[in-house]
Amino acid sequence: MMKAMGMAAKQAAKKLALLGTGEKNALLDAISANLLARTPEILEANANDRKNAEEAGLSPALIDRLLLNEGRIASMVEGLKTVRDLEDPVGIVKEMRTLPNGLQVGKKSVPLGVVGIIYESRPNVTIDTAALCLKSGNALILRGGKEAIFSNKILVSIVQDSLEALGYDRTFVQLIEDLSYETAGEFMRLHEYVDVLIPRGSAKLISRVVREATVPVIETGVGNCHVYVDDSADFDMALSIILNAKTQRTGVCNAMESLLVHGAVAESFLPLLESALTAHGVTVYADEEARAIVPVFEAATEEDYATEYLDLKMSLKVVKDLPEAMAHIERYGTGHSEAILTANYAHAMTFLQEVDAAAVYVNASTRFTDGSELGMGMEMGISTQKLHARGPVGLKELTTSKYIIFGSGQIRK
Amino acid sequence: MMKAMGMAAKQAAKKLALLGTGEKNALLDAISANLLARTPEILEANANDRKNAEEAGLSPALIDRLLLNEGRIASMVEGLKTVRDLEDPVGIVKEMRTLPNGLQVGKKSVPLGVVGIIYESRPNVTIDTAALCLKSGNALILRGGKEAIFSNKILVSIVQDSLEALGYDRTFVQLIEDLSYETAGEFMRLHEYVDVLIPRGSAKLISRVVREATVPVIETGVGNCHVYVDDSADFDMALSIILNAKTQRTGVCNAMESLLVHGAVAESFLPLLESALTAHGVTVYADEEARAIVPVFEAATEEDYATEYLDLKMSLKVVKDLPEAMAHIERYGTGHSEAILTANYAHAMTFLQEVDAAAVYVNASTRFTDGSELGMGMEMGISTQKLHARGPVGLKELTTSKYIIFGSGQIRK
């Protein structure tokens, strides 16, 4: 079954690659209109998912992630409009030059072909990724979580009906409805048909994909992000950034999970920090040095420093200097987003230079590692690997290039 | 053992990432000088490899691929000089801009980290890849073939001695000396330490790596390249390009393996082609339509069209038009290099637009898909996948990027 879906996607990709910007934008507009027109169907399907989730005993936070209402549907439509208004990433020729033998060589951006995504929970991902793939000329195969299956089915039907109404193949966007473990495995090994697979979800899901996939993978998401408060940091700025990075939204990969504080300012800064965090209901797991100053902090275990809480919890460690902070980040970080708060120019530059992560910040919240904040509209996920795309995966990252070469009879000497 | 090597490489990568261009260039010069000074040792080790190869009954062509002599060592040194003179790909900041909130965001090029290569036969690859990795600030782990083990060992020692003489760690470049199947498998699954793995060799090797690796892979090399002679092609140009693409060098991935000829010109063109190819000793496996015109062509089987001969052999098929030619290429091509020979503007543009390959040519030989021809100095291999790098993998393709973000207290709203 997966093979048939892969073949259909590959055929779809050929057609999609030839669509012009106007055609692709019209398609996104049609999907927007149909999402609004068919809102009652979406709400009904979503109610089914949430009823099942309640019966299965899912947490209120998870059920909230599942929820679609008119406001969230309006946000999806907003997202479609944003993507429509972004520059078409396909067909851009870069570095066109003439070689000494007269050959004219350029690199042209082209769609990747067939994109696969395996994701969990939030059904808006279904529409976001369809929008990004269609605009970038890629066919898409989606494999969502079983908790959102009714919502995903109606959303993909609406996309497919919109495609069909405009004379395109429904196979431009396909949903895997068989959610078995085996079928997911088959999907991961469909390298003959799928050009890239993006897992978006738990660390467990991502690690299975890395282990089993023969399709090239863009690893996303696990973010054990650190903020390091240097001895020269401005305390007010530090408190504001730490609160933002930890509490503005907790269930996201760019939230701060661990705080490092220079020993020279621990005694003066930690009490201020404690009262600010307590006011926001944040539990802190700290090392002995910090607990000697603020005894109400819980004791941290080794495991705490490796934990992505995705919750109002964080780990904290007092370090003796910048090198110790960077060594800690190297050991426990996941290469997502890391920040230094400092007034020291040399420390800022060293941190930027030496910390190995998708995004490295000076004096700002880690929460900006996000496609929409960085002007990319939205994203397929946030890559924490180094190959192909690092950081948010947007339209441009859904393309590859081909050399186009205009000759007049040249042969190699 | 592989884990220890991986850890050492990761530590090496941290140091390499901080080297300046001058330091890296001095290192390449030191390697050049030592290759020349220690030529007798290299020749002796290489003689050992060739003796073993003869005893093992390897073909003269394979033994020639193994051969190192003073000329080939001079070529390696030439390659090192070329790489030294290329622009340092590390530390280039692109797209630096200021967001509405005042954050300054840029993408800085940084080394990938640890590069792994699994390759066969030619020992010059050892020096070429070491040069590319050192210049791009990457640590390298090499796993060559057992037929070249003595040559590879002496070459890597020379690189390591050069490193040590300049005060660097020998672990910047490491050779896997245990050539067992199991150790190769361990290497492929070393994703905790290795950032990219490049297999360079037979289709069998590449397919094993794609199947087993958990390290991100850049697939290289298999090239079933086509030339399509359109009905409007200039015959003289066509003969010159076909001969060049097939015979200028046969054992390479960018050589032509299959020729497609428009039916309207088959009767006039094929006899000319036959005499040109015969003069160069090329055997042609052709379809019935071509054989009706030139009976001395051998009969092609289905398998011939899927074969990368790497020899003075080729397949040939008469097609009725451009769409049939493109459909054939889609079915049998490996996404490497594809060429159309035509005087028809619309056909040229359609071919460039629709054929999905790393390099698409109009009126030129496929042999130009090559790092040095395209001004990249040399290459780690030629990528036929779409992720990260497509076409020759040179210095720039050995880097990734990180977002660097300069703030002044920004938090996310």
- Residues A231-255 pLDDT 10s: 999 999 999 999 999 999 998 899 9
Q: Please tell me the predicted confidence (pLDDT) of residue A202.
A: 83
Q: Among 3.30.230.10, 3.20.20.70, 3.30.470.10, 3.40.309.10, what is the CATH number of B225-368?
A: 3.40.309.10
Q: How far is A357 from chain B (nearest CA, A)?
A: 7
* Confidence band for B251, pLDDT divided at 50, 70 and 90: confident
The neighbour count for residue A14, using CB atoms within 10 Å, is 14
- 8 Å CB contact of A210 and B210: no
Q: Do the beta carbons of residue B115 and residue B138 sit within 8 Å?
A: yes
* Confidence band for A160, pLDDT divided at 50, 70 and 90: very high
DSSP A171: G
Cβ partners under 8 Å of residue A310, min gap 6: A250, A251, A252, A255
Q: Please tell me the predicted confidence (pLDDT) of residue B22.
A: 98
Q: How far is A193 from chain B (nearest CA, A)?
A: 12
> Does residue B202 carry a pLDDT above 90?
no
Angle at B358 between CA B126 and CA A391, to 5 degrees: 80
Q: Please tell me the predicted confidence (pLDDT) of residue B289.
A: 98
Average pLDDT over residues B391-399: 96
Q: What is the pLDDT of residues A380-407, one digit of tens each?
A: 999 998 999 999 999 999 999 999 999 9
What is the sign of the dihedral through the CA atoms of A203, A205, A208 and A212? negative
Q: Please tell me the predicted confidence (pLDDT) of residue A279.
A: 95
Q: What would the two tokens of residue B194 be?
A: 């290795």
Domain B2-220+380-406 in CATH 3.40.605.10? The answer is yes
Helix (H) or strand (E) holding B298: strand B298-299
Distance CA B189, CA B187 (A): 5
Complex ipTM value = 0.93
> Does residue A376 carry a pLDDT above 90?
no
Pairing of strands B225-229, A93-98: unpaired
- 8 Å CB contact of A385 and B216: yes
For testing contact with chain B, the best of A99, A402, A406, A413 (most B CBs within 10 A): A402
Pairing of strands A399-410, A104-111: antiparallel
Q: Residues of chain A with pLDDT > 90: what percent?
A: 91
Contacts of A217 in chain B (CB under 8 A): 216
Mean pLDDT over the full length of chain B: 96
Q: What would the two tokens of residue A353 be?
A: 């230079």
Q: Do the beta carbons of residue B262 and residue B340 sit within 8 Å?
A: no
Distance CA A41, CA A39 (A): 5
* Confidence band for A100, pLDDT divided at 50, 70 and 90: very high
Task: Select the residue of B112, B211, B363 nearest A407 (Cβ to Cβ).
Answer: B363
Cβ partners under 8 Å of residue A324, min gap 6: none
Q: What would the two tokens of residue A80 be?
A: 């479609």
Exposed e or buried b per residue across B142-181, where buried means at least 16 C-beta atoms within 10 angstroms of its C-beta: bbbbebbbbbbbbbbbbbbebbeeeebbbbbbbbbeeeee
* Confidence band for B176, pLDDT divided at 50, 70 and 90: very high
Q: What would the two tokens of residue B181 be?
A: 């199947």
The runs of H, that is alpha helices, within B222-308 are 235-247, 263-279, 288-293, 302-305
Distance CA B118, CA B381 (A): 11
Distance CA B183, CA B166 (A): 31
Q: Please tell me the predicted confidence (pLDDT) of residue A319.
A: 98
Angle at A261 between CA B91 and CA A294, to 5 degrees: 165
DSSP A367: G
Q: What is the pLDDT of residues B5-36, one digit of tens each?
A: 999 999 999 999 999 999 999 999 999 999 99
* Confidence band for A72, pLDDT divided at 50, 70 and 90: very high
Q: Do the beta carbons of residue A200 and residue A232 sit within 8 Å?
A: no
Closest to B130 in 3D by CA, of B97, B161, B99 = B161
- Distances, alpha carbon A356 to alpha carbons A258, A385, B10, B11, in Å: 16, 11, 12, 12
- Three-state secondary structure call for residue A209: helix
Q: Please tell me the predicted confidence (pLDDT) of residue A167.
A: 97
Pairing of strands B337-341, A337-341: unpaired
If one compares B57 and B120, the residue with the highest pLDDT of the two is: B57
For chain A, the structural domain boundaries read 2-220+380-406, 225-368
Contacts of A401 in chain B (CB under 8 A): 390-391
Q: CA-nearest residue of chain B to A108? A: B353
Task: Select the residue of A17, A234, A368 nearest B103 (Cβ to Cβ).
Answer: A368
Helix (H) or strand (E) holding B197: strand B196-200
Contacts of B368 in chain A (CB under 8 A): 103, 405, 410, 412
Distance CA B67, CA B49 (A): 9
* Confidence band for B38, pLDDT divided at 50, 70 and 90: very high
- Distances, alpha carbon B316 to alpha carbons A95, A411, B73, B234, in Å: 34, 20, 39, 18
Q: Please tell me the predicted confidence (pLDDT) of residue B141.
A: 98
> Does residue A146 carry a pLDDT above 90?
yes
Give bridge partners of residue B175 from the DSSP assignment.
B142
Q: Do the beta carbons of residue B409 and residue A240 sit within 8 Å?
A: yes
Contacts of A210 in chain B (CB under 8 A): 191, 214
Distance CA A104, CA A97 (A): 6
Q: Taking CB atoms and an 8 Å cut-off, how many pairs form between chains A and B?
A: 193
Distance CA B260, CA B41 (A): 49
Q: CA-nearest residue of chain A to B211? A: A214
For testing contact with chain B, the best of A368, A369, A385 (most B CBs within 10 A): A368
Q: What is the pLDDT of residues A243-300, one digit of tens each?
A: 999 999 998 899 999 999 999 999 999 999 999 999 999 999 999 999 999 999 999 9
Q: Do the beta carbons of residue B390 and residue A400 sit within 8 Å?
A: yes
If one compares B287 and A60, the residue with the highest pLDDT of the two is: B287
Q: What would the two tokens of residue A295 be?
A: 């005894």
The DSSP string of A314-331 is EEEEEESSHHHHHHHHHH
> Does residue A221 carry a pLDDT above 80?
no
If one compares B147 and B222, the residue with the highest pLDDT of the two is: B147
Closest to A32 in 3D by CA, of A149, A151, A158, A126 = A158
Give bridge partners of residue B401 from the DSSP assignment.
B109
CA A390 to chain centre: 10
Q: Please tell me the predicted confidence (pLDDT) of residue B140.
A: 98
Angle at B311 between CA B305 and CA B314, to 5 degrees: 30
- Distances, alpha carbon A101 to alpha carbons B82, B226, B238, B317, in Å: 19, 22, 18, 30
- 8 Å CB contact of A367 and B412: yes
Q: How far is A1 from chain B (nearest CA, A)?
A: 21
Q: What angle in degrees, to the nearest 10, is found between the helix axes of B124-135 and B21-37?
A: 160
> Does residue B143 carry a pLDDT above 80?
yes
Q: Residues of chain A with pLDDT > 70: what percent?
A: 100
* Confidence band for A367, pLDDT divided at 50, 70 and 90: very high
Q: Please tell me the predicted confidence (pLDDT) of residue A377.
A: 84
The DSSP string of A106-149 is EEEEEE-SEEEEEE-S-THHHHHHHHHHHHTT-EEEEE--GGGH
